[in-house]
Amino acid sequence: MSTDILHEVTQGDYKYGFTTDIETDIIPIGLSEDVVRLISAKKNEPEWMLEFRLKAYRHWLTMKMPEWAHLDIPKIDYQSIAYYAAPRKNAPQSLDEVDPELLKTFEKLGIPLHERMALSGIAVDAVMDSVSVKTTFKESLSELGIIFCSFSEAVEHHPDLVQKYMSSVVPYTDNFFATLNCAVFSDGSFVYIPKGVRCPMELSTYFRINAMNTGQFERTLIIADEDSYVSYLEGCTAPMRDENQLHAAIVEIVAMKNAQVKYSTVQNWYPGDKNGKGGIYNFVTKRGICKGENSKISWTQVETGSAITWKYPSCILLGDNSSAEFYSVAVTNHHQQADTGTKMLHIGKNTSSHILSKGISAGFGQNSYRGLVKINPAAENSRNFSQCDSLLLGDKCGAHTFPYMEVNNDTSIVEHEATTSKINEDQIFYCNQRGISTEDAVGLIVNGYAKEVLNQLPMEFAVEAQKLLQITLEGSVG
Amino acid sequence: MEQQYIDLYKQQHESIKKHSAAVMNDSRDDAFALFEALRFPTVALENYKYTDLKEPLSIDYGLNINRIPIPVNPYEVFQCDVPGIHSYLYFVVNDAFYPVNEPRNKALPKGVIIGSLKEVATTHPELVKNYFGKLSTTKNDGLIAFNGAFAQDGFFMYVPKNVVLDKPVQLVNIMRSDVDFMANSHNLIILEEGAKAQLLVCDHTVDEVHFLSNRVTEVFAGEDATYEHYKLENTHTKTTNLSTLLIDQHPSSNVLANVITLHNGVTRNTIEIDLDGEHCETLLCGMVIGDKNQQVDNFTSIIHNKPNCNSRELFKYVLDGMAKGGFTGKLYVAKDAQKTSAFQTNRNILLNKTAKMRTKPQLEIYADDVKCSHGATIGQLDETAKFYMQSRGIPESEARLLLMFAFTNDVIENIRIPALQDRIKLLVEKRLRGELSKCEGCVICQ
Amino acid sequence: MLEIKNLHANINGKEILKGLDLVVRPGEIHAIMGPNGAGKSTLASVLTGNQTFEVTKGEVTFYGKNLLELTPEDRSREGIFLSFQYPVEIPGVSMVNFMRTALNEHRKYKNMEPLSATDFLRIMREKKTLVEMDNKLANRSVNEGFSGGEKKRNEIFQMAMLEPRLAILDETDSGLDIDALRIVANGVNKLKRPDNASIVITHYQRLLEYIVPDFVHVLYDGRIVKTGGKELALELEDKGYDWIKKEVEENI
């Protein structure tokens, strides 16, 4: 299988790089209170939402961009970005009303919005630029009491839930990018799983940036009530452009007593070209709270895209006996940079967390794992195990690990292991001897190296992720 | 906090310089300017996250800028006698090299110079000039800058080409004062090509006052040189020990540094080892036994600038009471440092629910043909092992002790002076048994 | 099929092969024996294109093609198979995925269509029985966590899958107990056909009781110093290598 993919890849690099020619409603570039009001007005938001945005915006003005990450971020002019862009036809009631160009776009991306054609078992919320285009399977899910809709719809139809949980995990003051998101966020997905319900299908949001010079600021809120379960997938792509584009999203997860949430991401934003020109700046705040006893949150991410990734999906383990997992594969090739990892904050008793991070650096890529495991004094008998491996392909890339561990009681155990090595020549020769070319051998070995993480992904995503790993590393050996 | 020192320097810099040496004065004003800009480090700085100096720096210390002789008989207070160790013996009292007429020092091999940095800087200015400040003035650190402004003297050691010191050199630092006191000293150690030396540094406090020692040690290990640096800290809880050890390794040099904190107040060890030649070997070890309100932060970095070097790092902490431990292990492999092999381990045991440990290993790697790893754990004594021992009739307290001792043993194993190793084993055991709950010979620590 | 003339090879500047000559024809089994350090494994590495060794002189042709010019993978696709002395572990890569990639590469080289998943699995099942390989092993990662015997059986299994024209068995008997040895040898014998050949590199005569060679060569100090029939192996077993060393030294 690997050969076909590589062959395909040698022709084109980033296969999602096309643009859609569609009438788009873009507001002028720049950021001010008026812009915040304008976004809120465009979305017909209630007063409380506007107040929230303004509060965040005013706070954002007092903040500075964080500089602690191992990243070389060119100066970003926040006044040269358009903060809202939407395909002109808004809020379709049925699929017939969705612009055919949009349908084509998502079909090209492999995201079918026709429910009868949809991959069985996945409900999709498709977001293009600032708005949600279409959410599938909404009706059948609602029969179970599950709410799966765009964030804007949730604000309109479920204001109580939104008001109660929005910003309860990531406060509006959290960090520079999160605060900016709070001020200007456009759309995103909202999920509520009621008590005792096991969501029968994978829920998925597909994010697409299309318009030029815009930023994408979506936010996702997932609430899993007591004894519920949901598996959620997130995918993203963007056209190839020479300019950098900013993506600053927020994801919040709330897991109540005995609830389980599994969140999987295959991040494939446009990474820029071979010389590092263009690409998405992916500055994302993702955090979950294990609020109730025995709750569980699991993050799985495959990060192959973006010019710069700044992202730390984290968990607050508040409920006793709660647990959290973080599985990550991050690849940086060419001039990509990634500073990614997780934070596990243990507050409840008998809480446990597991971190598995596999970094792969090639070309001029710089790949950093950054993580914090903190055990509070009250978090008795808590456990953490972290494993962070780095693989280096080539002598111009870098692999870095910055773990922080803080333990404040005498009944918990925290363990961390990290290794860095280059790809094993013996393994490559062994594959060669069986007739497998070096490039394919690297693909096989890298996928094998990342397998423990890929295994955590739902089936369809796992296959996609495997291909992506190979594609991303195309041309890195030689 | 800083202002009184800034004012002091502005008023007294002439006296400071007058009582020091020209070579040391050359960079003094620059160091002061840097300190004025940087100020004392706070926990807000990434590199000082685990060293809280707010309290110790709020104390009003006296400084002995005019070098008034301190009345002391070092032999009376010297508790660091290692039975069976034959060493060359030297004393620094507070921040001044203390001349004693020690008969055993007469046997020093020819060409070896050991003495007061201030004096050697006057008698051999060219020698000192080639090395002094070469490492310390490149650092952007408030404490090092402060030391550059205020240090007037310290310990100096020079071992010429291919000279092997047959016995370890023992340097005893004694803090002695009737008022709260601050000492800034600068040590300079130079090993020429093929030279070999072992230095044992012991820190002791004598009086029941607050002490703050801010010491910078620069070490230059020439090609093929072998250097061992042992630092044993056994001070009282009112002591703040800020110690910077900067080591520059030339090709094929072999360096062992082992820092052991048995008893202390607030300790910050900054250790930076630069591997500036191929085929260097580095072993950096450390151990901390802490209880009460003790704070220890070992901030280490090993920088592989050249290919084919091996480094290993091992730090162990046993923390009880309200002790706070911090460890940073930075491992940097530069772009061209291929075939680097670097391994780091930090293991910590918390014996009490009020003890705290924070650890931060870091790998920063820019070369691909490397083997690097780090491991860090924070946990407790192995319950199954303890139970196993108990089931063989060993009482729990003894089992705990045996396990703690076993835990620290691999650091002690890396002491290559047998008599010293035996002595430290004994001291560690005493410390773990609680028999050394204060530094020997002082009465403050309860 | 294989012709080696005056082959010289170095590792890190040290000469290991010092003018080796060997001709292998279809249908033949050649045993190469010799003391430690004689260059036996080096020969296997050089024939399969391991980059750690540098060929300084000599030529090697395989069915008329200059073997030394080919990449390791093309040598494999041409039909040269090495059963590794120390099979390499590749974590996370399943045997199925590994073997299917390899087999399809071989087919592509011969302008054949890739095998469908079902056909592939059928062939895999067939060949597995040949070496009495556990079903579970096939689903595990390549050699990872395999015992010594399992690794060697896995090598012969791969050989069965790829159907080489020339198989080189490098110390395949080392670390095998008698049952495993029998299984491995059985596998090799069953795969023997008039149009393929084997080179069996071994230190002991033991394996040759099961795989009967047509020729036995003694490799010493980088050269083949003695060639004989299968009885030479017995003689070596009996007398050790010292008499050969003496003979060679006397000739010099």
Report the gap between the CA of A361 and the closest CA in chain C (Å). Answer: 18
Confidence check: pLDDT of B174 > 90: no
Residue A28 belongs to domain spanning: 2-354+424-473
**Tokens in use for A450?**
């990342």
Chain A residues contacting C, CB < 8 Å?
1-3, 424-427, 429-438, 440, 444-445, 447-452
Q: What are phi and psi of B104, to 5 degrees?
A: -70, -20
Q: Specify burial of residue A401 (Cβ count, 10 A radius: 0-12, 13-18, 19+).
A: buried
What CATH number corresponds to the domain at position C174? 3.40.50.300
- Which chains sit next to A, with 3 or more Cβ pairs under 8 A? B, C
- Contact partners, residue C178, CB within 8 Å, separation at least 6: none
Of B154-163, B235-244, C200-209, which range is least confident? C200-209
Q: Which residue has the tokens 């005893």?
A: B172
Domain count, chain A: 1
Confidence check: pLDDT of B443 > 80: no
Query: Quick check: pTM over 0.90?
Result: no
Chain C hits for A434, Cβ within 8 Å: 76, 98-99, 102, 158, 162
Question: Are B31 and B137 in contact, with CB atoms under 8 Å apart?
Answer: yes
Partner residue opposite B365 with nearest CB, options A398, A406, A409:
A398
Distance CA C153, CA C159 (A): 10
Interface of B with A in 283-342 (CB under 8 A): 335, 338
Beta bridge partners of B211: B181, B239
**Chain segment B280-329, per-residue pLDDT in tens:** 999 999 999 999 899 999 999 999 999 999 999 999 999 999 999 999 99
Q: Do A436 and C109 touch (CB under 8 A)?
A: no
Distance CA A376, CA B166 (A): 51
Q: Which residue has the tokens 């691909």?
A: B368
Report the gap between the CA of B49 and the closest CA in chain A (Å). Answer: 11
Of A368-372, B72-76, B431-435, C227-231, which range is least confident? B72-76
Confidence (pLDDT) at B186 = 96
- Contact partners, residue A120, CB within 8 Å, separation at least 6: none
Chain C hits for A466, Cβ within 8 Å: none
Please report the number of interchain residue pairs, chain A to chain B, with beta-carbon separation below 8 angstroms: 110
Chain B hits for A68, Cβ within 8 Å: 46
Report the gap between the CA of A342 and the closest CA in chain B (Å). Answer: 14
Interface of B with A in 346-375 (CB under 8 A): 348, 350-375
**Chain segment C133-161, per-residue pLDDT in tens:** 777 777 788 888 888 888 888 999 999 99
Helix (H, G, I), strand (E, B) or coil at A123: strand
Assess B380–A contact: CB distance below 8 Å, yes or no.
yes
Of A374-388, B22-36, C211-225, which range is least confident? C211-225
Chain centroid to Cα A68, Å, comes to: 21
**Chain segment C105-135, per-residue pLDDT in tens:** 999 999 999 988 888 888 988 888 877 777 7
Distance CA B42, CA C54 (A): 58
Residue of chain C minimizing CA distance to A443: C93
The answer to whether residue B396 is domain-embedded is no
Partner residue opposite B363 with nearest CB, options A395, A411, A418:
A418
pLDDT tier, B50 (very low <50, low <70, confident <90, very high otherwise): very high
The answer to whether residue A367 is domain-embedded is no
**For an interface test with A, which of C51, C67, C78, C88 has the most A Cβ atoms less than 10 Å from its Cβ?**
C88
Q: Do A420 and B380 touch (CB under 8 A)?
A: no
Q: Do A440 and C105 touch (CB under 8 A)?
A: yes
Confidence check: pLDDT of B184 > 90: yes
Of A100-114, A389-403, B88-102, C63-77, which range is least confident? A100-114
Question: Are B118 and B140 in contact, with CB atoms under 8 Å apart?
Answer: no
Q: What is the mean pLDDT of residues C225-229?
A: 90
**Chain segment B248-259, per-residue pLDDT in tens:** 999 999 999 999
Residue C28 belongs to domain spanning: 2-251
Domain count, chain C: 1
The answer to whether residue B439 is domain-embedded is no
Distance CA B345, CA B360 (A): 11
Q: Dihedral sign, CA of C62, C64, C68, C70?
A: negative
**Chain segment B220-237, per-residue pLDDT in tens:** 999 999 999 999 998 888
Q: Do C73 and A448 touch (CB under 8 A)?
A: no
- Contact partners, residue A226, CB within 8 Å, separation at least 6: A195, A196, A256, A257, A258, A259, A292
Average pLDDT, chain B: 90
Report the gap between the CA of C171 and the closest CA in chain A (Å). Answer: 16
- Contact partners, residue A455, CB within 8 Å, separation at least 6: A462
Residue of chain B minimizing CA distance to A364: B366
**Chain segment B380-396, per-residue pLDDT in tens:** 988 888 877 777 878 88
Q: Do A401 and B374 touch (CB under 8 A)?
A: yes
**Tokens in use for B192?**
């020429």
Report CA-CA distances (Å) from B342 to A115, A450, B280, B372.
Answer: 55, 24, 11, 5
How much of chain B exceeds pLDDT 70, in percent? 96
Higher pLDDT, B133 or B431: B133
Q: Do C91 and A444 touch (CB under 8 A)?
A: no
Residue of chain C minimizing CA distance to A430: C88
Q: Do A430 and C104 touch (CB under 8 A)?
A: no
Q: What is the mean pLDDT of residues B166-189?
A: 92
Q: Do A421 and B370 touch (CB under 8 A)?
A: yes
Chain A hits for B375, Cβ within 8 Å: 415-418
How much of chain C exceeds pLDDT 90, in percent? 42
Q: Do B374 and A402 touch (CB under 8 A)?
A: no
Segment B435-438 long-range contacts (CB within 8 Å, at least 24 positions apart): B436/B234, B436/B262, B436/B263, B437/B263, B437/B291, B438/B236, B438/B263
**Chain segment C17-30, per-residue pLDDT in tens:** 999 999 999 999 99
Question: Are B362 and B334 in contact, with CB atoms under 8 Å apart?
Answer: no
Q: Do B379 and A395 touch (CB under 8 A)?
A: no
Chain B hits for A395, Cβ within 8 Å: 335, 338, 367-369
- Which chains sit next to B, with 3 or more Cβ pairs under 8 A? A
Domain count, chain B: 1
Report the gap between the CA of A345 and the closest CA in chain B (Å). Answer: 14
How much of chain B exceeds pLDDT 90, in percent? 69
Chain C hits for A426, Cβ within 8 Å: 88
Chain B hits for A393, Cβ within 8 Å: 368
Mean pLDDT per segment of 10 residues, for chain A of length 478 residues?
A: 32 60 77 92 92 95 90 88 74 56 64 52 67 71 90 92 95 94 90 94 78 81 96 77 83 97 87 83 95 96 89 96 95 90 96 95 91 95 94 89 93 92 90 91 89 82 73 62
Strand pairing report for A366-375 and B324-333: unpaired
Chain A hits for B344, Cβ within 8 Å: none
Would you tell me how many other CB atoms lie within 10 Å of the CB of residue A455? 11
ipTM value? 0.85
Higher pLDDT, B263 or A469: B263
Confidence (pLDDT) at C141 = 87
Residue of chain A minimizing CA distance to C160: A434
Confidence (pLDDT) at A3 = 32
HSE of B63, CA atoms in CB hemisphere, 13 A: 22
Report the gap between the CA of A94 and the closest CA in chain B (Å). Answer: 53
Assess A416–B contact: CB distance below 8 Å, yes or no.
yes
Report CA-CA distances (Å) from B289 to A86, B12, B298, B434, C53.
Answer: 62, 40, 13, 11, 52
Question: Are A363 and A13 in contact, with CB atoms under 8 Å apart?
Answer: no
